[in-house]
């Protein structure tokens, strides 16, 4: 009887049609072999843009939000590059930067000569164009996801960063994604980081761009870590209001690895940060953290899938949302413990403070557990700033805005504390302070 219902195929939206039309027109000039790109494009054509009936995108209806798919960004002119050169990185002075302008890796703006010993970097477009396939590409970012498929179809450029086995790199390395221009354009970039056995790396990402331009960025970061590798990763997005930031992080860890990531979102109109972590070796530990401070009609979505495929691994997640105005925060975190992944220890926490009467927080922490000898827990809270605490602070003489700012700073601070590099943490703390000051 159920067969009587016709199988409904939703109408293609304008943005979907634009994306579908875009590929044939640009594929000839995209670097590297086209077979994989075609395959990814077909997967996207099949799925379309994700929408609320796709469980992983339940709270971020990209099909509804993305009215138009912006054309691919133009290759930046020399004049533009000059402007970019004059603009300091938010992480200036903390370490060498690799600079990607409007989706194109710019060696002339990058500190290639200043890279620490043991670190090798090259442009992705160049690597894709070489005769040999790029080793490890596509190894860590594996998911049945339309946004990831779009990146695989369209990726124009990016960086391949390799850290030699045993290299303990002290100086952080930064990748800057700089956007220019006043018209909305899209970029598809991919950064591949391969950290050899026993090596360590701190990687900072900054997303910078003009205010008020609805740029669309689809960025993928792949991290492949060998046994006993340590990777710390921080993302700061100060790209101007109006942008749509879709980023996917794929992480594959060997045995006894340490991986730590933190992302701070204050700027984009819409951000979706999806992190897929695959434990491939035993006794590894991860710590995934982030904060979002939003107002107006901003929307920030963090979606995590932590796959414990082997025993004896540990995962920690701590996410904080501060939601003012009519903003929306989304946290979806899924811890999967596969059969035989015994002794898994997974703890996840998502906390939100709603400041605006019309703000929304959607939490979906999830446990999917197929092994018995595990300790897994998740928690989620949302609410207002505690009235009693606020009164206590005011009774000590702090005016209300100062008291609120102090409480919010402490609230986000608990997540910021997970950033190990003090200088990098300082930069993010000052962004948080700036946001709180602007609110006072």
Residues that bind another protein (CB under 8 A): 1-2, 4-5, 55, 339-340, 342, 352, 354-384, 386-389, 391-400, 402-403, 406-407, 409-411, 413-414
| Residue nearer to another protein on the CB measure, 177 or 319 | 319
CB of 204 to another protein, least distance (A): 23
Beta-bridge partners for 21: none
Whether residue 392 contacts residue 363, with contact meaning beta carbons closer than 8 Å, is answered with no
Q: Which residues, 6 or more positions from 364, have their beta carbon under 8 angstroms from its beta carbon?
A: 58, 59, 331, 332, 333
Which residues have CB under 8 Å from 49's CB, separation 6+? 13, 15, 16, 19, 62, 63, 66, 146
Structure tokens, 435: 């946001």
Minimum distance, C-beta of residue 318 to another protein, in the bound complex (Å): 12
Least distance to another protein from the beta carbon of 119, Å?
A: 35
Nearer to another protein, 247 or 363 (CB): 363
CB under 8 A, 24+ apart: contacts of 85-93: 85/109, 87/178, 87/208, 89/174, 89/176, 89/206, 89/208, 90/206, 90/208, 90/236, 90/238, 90/427, 90/431, 91/172, 91/174, 91/204, 91/206, 91/236, 91/424, 91/427
CB 37 within 8 A of CB 27: yes
Three-state DSSP class for residue 128: helix
Q: Is 258 helix (H, G, I), strand (E, B) or coil?
A: strand
Q: Are residues 328 and 360 in contact, defined by beta-carbon separation less than 8 angstroms?
A: yes
Please count the CA atoms within 13 angstroms of the CA of 205 that sit on its side-chain side: 27
**Nearer to another protein by C-beta: 190 or 299?**
299
- 372 vs 422 by CB, closer to another protein: 372
In whole angstroms, give the CA distance from residue 212 to residue 229.
40
Distance separating alpha carbons of residues 326 and 357, to the nearest angstrom = 7
Q: Tell me the closest approach of the beta carbon of residue 405 to another protein, in angstroms.
A: 9
218 vs 247: CA distance, rounded Å: 6
Write out the two tokens for 39: 């395959």
Q: How far is the CB of 340 from another protein (least distance, A)?
A: 8
Q: Identify which of residues 124 and 348 has a Cβ nearer to another protein in the complex.
A: 348
Least distance to another protein from the beta carbon of 258, Å?
24
Output 313 or 407, the one with its CB closest to another protein.
407
CB of 236 to another protein, least distance (A): 20
In the complex, minimum distance from the CB of residue 439 to another protein, in angstroms, rounded to a whole number: 14
Q: Which residues contact 148 (CB under 8 A, 6 or more apart)?
A: 141, 220, 248, 274
Shortest spacing between CB 393 and another protein, in angstroms? 7
Distance of CA 58 to the CA centre of its chain: 18
Nearest to 320 by CA among 366, 276, 382, 248: 382
In this structure, what is the dihedral angle of CA atoms 320, 235, 434, 59, given to the nearest 10 degrees? -40
Least distance to another protein, CB of residue 173, Å: 30
Structure tokens at 275: 């992190």
């Amino acid at each position: 009887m159920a067969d009587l219902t016709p199988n409904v195929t939703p109408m293609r939206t304008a943005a979907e049609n634009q994306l579908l039309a875009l590929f044939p027109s640009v594929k000839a000039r995209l670097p590297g072999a086209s077979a994989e790109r075609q395959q990814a494009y077909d997967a996207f054509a099949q799925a379309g843009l994700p929408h609320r009936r796709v469980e992983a995108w339940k709270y971020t209806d990209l099909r509804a939000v993305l009215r138009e798919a912006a054309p691919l960004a133009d290759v930046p002119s020399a004049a533009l590059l000059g402007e970019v050169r004059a603009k300091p990185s938010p992480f200036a002075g903390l370490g060498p930067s690799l600079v990607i302008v409007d989706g194109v890796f710019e060696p002339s703006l990058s500190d290639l000569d200043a890279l620490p010993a043991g670190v090798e970097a090259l442009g992705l477009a160049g690597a894709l164009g070489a005769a040999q396939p790029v080793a490890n590409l596509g190894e860590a970012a594996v998911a049945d996801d339309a946004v990831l498929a779009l990146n695989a179809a369209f990726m124009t450029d990016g960086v391949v960063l390799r850290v030699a086995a045993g290299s303990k790199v002290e100086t952080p390395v930064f990748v800057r994604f700089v956007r220019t221009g006043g018209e909305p354009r899209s970029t598809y970039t991919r950064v591949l980081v391969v950290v050899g056995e026993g090596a360590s790396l701190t990687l900072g990402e900054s997303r910078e761009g003009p205010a008020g331009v609805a740029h669309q960025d689809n960025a993928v970061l792949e991290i492949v870590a060998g046994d006993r590798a340590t990777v710390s990763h921080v993302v700061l997005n100060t790209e101007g209001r109006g942008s749509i930031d879709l980023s996917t992080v794929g992480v594959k860890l060997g045995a006894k690895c340490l991986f730590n990531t933190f992302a701070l979102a204050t700027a984009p109109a819409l951000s979706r940060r999806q992190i897929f972590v695959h434990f491939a070796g035993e006794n590894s530990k991860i710590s995934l953290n982030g904060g979002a401070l939003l107002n107006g009609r901003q929307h920030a979505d963090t979606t995590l899938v932590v796959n414990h495929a082997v025993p004896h691994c540990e995962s920690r997640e701590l996410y904080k949302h501060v939601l003012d105005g009519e903003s929306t925060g989304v946290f979806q975190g899924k811890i999967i413990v596969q059969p035989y992944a015994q002794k898994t220890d997974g703890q996840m926490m998502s906390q939100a403070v709603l400041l605006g009467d019309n703000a929304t927080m959607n939490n979906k922490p999830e446990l999917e557990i197929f092994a018995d000898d595990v300790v897994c827990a998740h928690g989620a809270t949302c609410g207002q700033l505690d009235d009693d605490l606020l009164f206590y602070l005011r009774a000590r003489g702090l005016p209300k805005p100062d008291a609120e700012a102090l409480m919010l700073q402490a609230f986000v601070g608990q997540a910021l504390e997970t950033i190990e590099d003090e200088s990098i943490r300082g930069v993010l703390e000052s962004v948080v302070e700036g946001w709180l000051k602007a609110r006072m």
